[in-house]
Structure 1
Amino acid sequence: MGMQMVGLADIVRTHAIGQGAAVALVHDGRPTTYGHLHQASNRVAQGLIAEGIRPQSRVAHLDKSSDLFFDLLFGVSKVGAVMVSVNWRLAAPEVLHIVNDADAEILFVGEEFFPVIDEIRDQLRSVREIVALSGVHPGWEPFARWRDRHPNIDPQHPAKASDTAVQFYTSGTTGLPKGAELTNSNFASMFRYWSRSWQLEPGRRSIVCLPMFHIGGAGWGMAGLYAGATNYVVREFVPAQILDIIQSHRIEVALFVPAMILFLLQAPQVRETDLSSLQLIVYGAAPIPAELLKQAMAVFGCGFQQVYGLTETTGAITLLPTEDHDPSNAKKLLSCGYAQKEVELRIIGDDGRDLPPGEVGEIAVRSPQVMGGYWKLPDATARAVKGDWFLTGDAGYLDDEGYLYIYDRVKDMIVSGGENIYPAEVESALFGHPAVADVAVIGVPDERWGEAVKAVVVTKPGSVVTAAELIDWARSRIAGYKLPKSIDFIDALPRNPTGKILKRELRKAYWSDRTRQVN
């Protein structure tokens, strides 16, 4: 599509002219056309100007996903300000840290989160105005009234490619969340390439079910809007609801994380649901066990693409295409694909030098999708971005064909008797057992080997299996030194909002009496 996009607002400007009557968003049964989205965001922009919001001011959003997020996002873009969507699963002190850190001047908050903001209102240093996105609050104007009392006039603020458009807070593995500044040009290059790869095009029906504080939610929604697709925005991920939307609205493309695929396959409704409209499922954020992928390919009957990327790279930078999703080639399935257009990858050793194919090191990326930097953290930015290269903190290797194999965070690797063991491989081996519903593998202290492999398993309802049976099962699938030395059974694995297993939480119980988390 020949859209000349500098700022995000150019998306709605272009489509309002080209296909204004086409449906851009559907939320809770409520459709919004591209023309209406343009008008609503004009009013938001005028409202922000009236509140004293200037170019590059921060505007905060605290709510689950809805169509209103996009009214806001494009309004924010039209005045050259910066959108900051806050993780709604956070506790009040964590929300406080992010809103204050961002210097947010106005906050839009959904009814469910009034109590959180009421609790910290007096400590919000920079917030001058709060607007209620939904519900009724005695002190805050309701969003629809706030928006609609302003004129439908596009302020036509001239966007700059280098301006920050969205600030996502990354739940980094260490310390407080950092604000990754993603620029207009970061998004422009992501959309230009990925919307095609993901088969997004005018009228294509896409489901948006990751949260808006996450590049996977907001980024996927924006890519769909860039392409002129019809985007079904789901408030939060409820498997039965997702299946119902796929069937009743004939959804064609979706982005899920592997945990979501797992939960959809475990939903009792999945067998009765008509999934025939699906053409493509994109997934990422974690490796997928080969057995889970086989089940998913059989049940969903559509193409699958795996992507790898980070908040700091404006999402996806590698692609494992549909044709590489061959369950008989289990090795390829462990790969997250190869670098896409305008993306270069290096694998760097401890000494900072490039490693040859097959050797595991830190993944570094050069791409126009690499963030502008971390907000107000010059030292952290300097550590992460060396020249043009962003150091991901992820461990992986490239094979001879340039396919990237990412294992876990560098620190998730288990070193047992001098051998490096990657939990993802062990998890994949155990996952295929018919009694296993979910599994996580961690390293635990071991006097003899330094660390020993432990599996933590959730069994399927009504299934009974012993640790010995599971270890036997894995023995025929992976090398002996990778086998779990012990297996614990648990009701549910701790996961973060995007479904990543919280290995830190699992490890705590076993390392509590140790000073170091790695032996």
Structure 2
Amino acid sequence: MASKSMEILDYIKGQNDYWLIGSDRFHFQQLFEKLYLELLTYKTPQKILLAEREPVRFLAGFIAACAANCRVFLCNPDWGKQEWQEVFNLVQPNLILGDGDSGGWSKIVYVPLRGSEVAHGGDPQDRAGLPLPMPSSQLPIPNTIMIPTGGSSGKIKFAIHTWDTLMASVKGFTEYFQLNQVNSFCVLPLYHVSGLMQFMRSFTTGGKLAIFPFKQVESSPIYHLEPSEFFISLVPTQLQRLLQNPDLTAWLSQFKTVLLGGAPAWNELLEKARFSRIRLAPTYGMTETASQIATVKPDDFLNGKISSGQILPHVQITICNEKGDILKSNQKGNIIIKSQSLALGYYPEIWKNQDYLQVDDLGFLDNDGHLNIVGRSSNKIITGGENVYPIEIESAIRATQMVNDVCVIGIPDKQWGQAITAIYIPKKAEISSLEIQKILKDKLCKFKIPKHWIPVSTLPRNTQGKINQQQLQEIATNVLQMYFKSPPNNNTNSP
């Protein structure tokens, strides 16, 4: 642990004066030193909730916690009261690092809670009026980094990572792109793995890190840096919005690489990016793998390559059937991941087998060894005995160019088992579902065309573009119940 702390401190010392673009590097240094020395006064490593909204304070708190061998939980400052209570019950923290605007949990940078009273004295108060449980002794690994993931259910979990698992991801990234230094332009939340890993790549390779709110980027291109030197990471909805502005499209086309992940991208969006000569690199990865494990290289993308990407050097992927037999190229099955970047478990449980991870996604390896995602096993819809994957139907609906966004789910159906239901945002109010269905008849089998169509103004996506499946089901159930006195079945007309 001491050597790990020295490694982190060496990275701090090795930074040049201009590594943080748009922020004060010396302010970062001061904040880091203050917090690091404070954390060293404790006799045992602390459990810390990091809920900083301001990027420099977040990064200083993160590095200080890692260097002091603490367990740090990255938190979304915009969680609601119920979500914070859920996190408190799960984590039972010793300390909070907050910016005074994070759900009312703290108004100063450093707040001691129960369990640290003996060391620091005082009577800590919970400013949100919620009970604070005593710290637990679970998870005996001190220097762990807990990264939140909600999956498709929306329920908060923390994937357990270490400095080593994150560094394995950094090494795989630099080897894949053949880089010594990584310059990152970050518009994604730092508490999310997609934002955190942009920092890790730049910080540990001596590269530059530019951090800007996406709203600022969306309003005007950032002209005081050279895009050709930087990687920028976006989610599909962000890319879609930037491509609607010719000036931003031209600016985006100047970047060294535009990493695209967080949620599946649709063909229309990819074609528009290719037409605009965006050096796009669609990626596949997740919180549990410390970000991307498969990526399409920009030149391959511009030349028309369509897949989830080539496997990064630090990863091995096999495709297996339900019996565990390894499948050949172009055979669809379960994705099995082996990598040193894998999480150790979900807090507070350590996985018994850490050698591999079987994910919910289904896919295949093509003849070039590139990964192709078919869909999520848990999202599979079984209608009339047929297996249907929403991603195929969503792609076909988007191709009609009549919707701004769409999600497809299965709703319980008495006769068919599940009825395919499309929840969509029409491009124009006058567009009817019948117009869309007419086009789909030439593109999809009859049983794949949704039986129910629900127009909405927004879809429940998070900042990474991932959809909340639980909320989708609630939307569909509530809307359909308004139209039908009994549960929907195949004899009912779509609303």
**TM-score if structure 2 supplies the norm length?**
0.81
Tell me what 2:185 maps to: 207
CA distance in 2, matches of 1:327, 1:482: 31
How far residue 94 of structure 1 moved from its aligned partner, in angstroms, is 2.0
Amino acid paired to 2:33: N
Residue by residue over 1:449-482, the C-alpha shift from the partner in whole angstroms, topping out at 9 and shown as x without a partner, is 322322222123x563221221233334444443
Taking a change above 3 Å as real, the CA distance of residues 344 and 275 of structure 1, as seen in their structure-2 partners, is: closer
Equivalent of 2:425 in 443, 458, 461 = 458
Taking a change above 3 Å as real, the CA distance of residues 504 and 263 of structure 1, as seen in their structure-2 partners, is: farther
CA distance in 2, matches of 1:15, 1:124: 28
- The answer on whether the counterparts of 2:218 and 2:248 sit within 8 Å (CA) in structure 1 is no
Equivalent of 2:200 in 222, 226, 229 = 222
Amino acid paired to 2:431: V
How far residue 25 of structure 1 moved from its aligned partner, in angstroms, is 1.6
Taking a change above 3 Å as real, the CA distance of residues 467 and 128 of structure 1, as seen in their structure-2 partners, is: farther
Tell me what 2:63 maps to: 74
Equivalent of 2:464 in 488, 494, 498 = 498
1:32 to 2:8 alignment: no
- The answer on whether the counterparts of 1:87 and 1:95 sit within 8 Å (CA) in structure 2 is no
Tell me what 2:409 maps to: 442
Equivalence map 1:10-409=2 (5 Å): 10=7, 13-14=10-11, 16-17=13-14, 20-21=16-17, 23-26=18-21, 29-32=22-25, 37-38=28-29, 40-50=31-41, 52=42, 54-55=44-45, 57-113=46-102, 115-116=104-105, 126=115, 164-173=143-152, 177-197=156-176, 202=181, 205-234=183-212, 236-238=213-215, 240-242=216-218, 244-251=220-227, 252-266=230-244, 270=248, 274-299=251-276, 301-326=277-302, 333=306, 335-378=307-350, 381-382=351-352, 386=353, 388-409=355-376
Stretches of structure 1 that go unaligned for 5 or more consecutive residues are 130-137, 141-161
Tell me what 1:154 maps to: none
How far residue 82 of structure 1 moved from its aligned partner, in angstroms, is 2.6
Stretches of structure 2 that go unaligned for 5 or more consecutive residues are 119-123, 127-140, 491-495
- The answer on whether the counterparts of 2:360 and 2:378 sit within 8 Å (CA) in structure 1 is no
- The answer on whether the counterparts of 2:78 and 2:102 sit within 8 Å (CA) in structure 1 is no
Residue by residue over 1:421-462, the C-alpha shift from the partner in whole angstroms, topping out at 9 and shown as x without a partner, is 2111211122133332111112223444322322222123x5
Taking a change above 3 Å as real, the CA distance of residues 179 and 6 of structure 1, as seen in their structure-2 partners, is: farther
RMSD (CA atoms): 3.6
Tell me what 2:438 maps to: 472
Residue by residue over 1:250-278, the C-alpha shift from the partner in whole angstroms, topping out at 9 and shown as x without a partner, is 4332011112212323468746x644531
CA distance in 2, matches of 1:222, 1:211: 13
Amino acid paired to 1:59: I
CA distance in 2, matches of 1:281, 1:355: 32
- The answer on whether the counterparts of 1:210 and 1:256 sit within 8 Å (CA) in structure 2 is yes
Taking a change above 3 Å as real, the CA distance of residues 176 and 505 of structure 1, as seen in their structure-2 partners, is: closer
**Bigger mean CA offset, 167-176 vs 219-228:** 167-176
- The answer on whether the counterparts of 1:435 and 1:459 sit within 8 Å (CA) in structure 2 is yes
1:412 to 2:379 alignment: yes
How many residue pairs match? The answer is 459
CA distance in 1, matches of 2:20, 2:6: 16
- The answer on whether the counterparts of 1:164 and 1:181 sit within 8 Å (CA) in structure 2 is no
CA distance in 2, matches of 1:274, 1:317: 27
Tell me what 1:150 maps to: none
How far residue 394 of structure 1 moved from its aligned partner, in angstroms, is 2.5
Taking a change above 3 Å as real, the CA distance of residues 284 and 454 of structure 1, as seen in their structure-2 partners, is: same
How far residue 289 of structure 1 moved from its aligned partner, in angstroms, is 0.5
- The answer on whether the counterparts of 1:206 and 1:224 sit within 8 Å (CA) in structure 2 is yes
Q: SS state of the match for residue 30, structure 1?
A: coil
- The answer on whether the counterparts of 2:47 and 2:70 sit within 8 Å (CA) in structure 1 is yes
**Bigger mean CA offset, 83-92 vs 394-403:** 394-403
**Bigger mean CA offset, 352-361 vs 91-100:** 352-361
Amino acid paired to 2:255: L
Residue by residue over 1:326-369, the C-alpha shift from the partner in whole angstroms, topping out at 9 and shown as x without a partner, is 585xxx53x31232213111233333443444444332211111
Residue by residue over 1:372-420, the C-alpha shift from the partner in whole angstroms, topping out at 9 and shown as x without a partner, is 2333224xx23xxx35111223233333433222244322111222222
- The answer on whether the counterparts of 2:94 and 2:116 sit within 8 Å (CA) in structure 1 is yes
Taking a change above 3 Å as real, the CA distance of residues 267 and 274 of structure 1, as seen in their structure-2 partners, is: closer
How far residue 116 of structure 1 moved from its aligned partner, in angstroms, is 4.5
Residue by residue over 1:181-233, the C-alpha shift from the partner in whole angstroms, topping out at 9 and shown as x without a partner, is 2112212211112135457655x652212212211111122112222222122
Percentage identity across paired residues of the two chains? 24
Taking a change above 3 Å as real, the CA distance of residues 242 and 41 of structure 1, as seen in their structure-2 partners, is: farther
Tell me what 1:133 maps to: none
CA distance in 1, matches of 2:362, 2:159: 21
How far residue 280 of structure 1 moved from its aligned partner, in angstroms, is 0.9
CA distance in 2, matches of 1:374, 1:458: 35
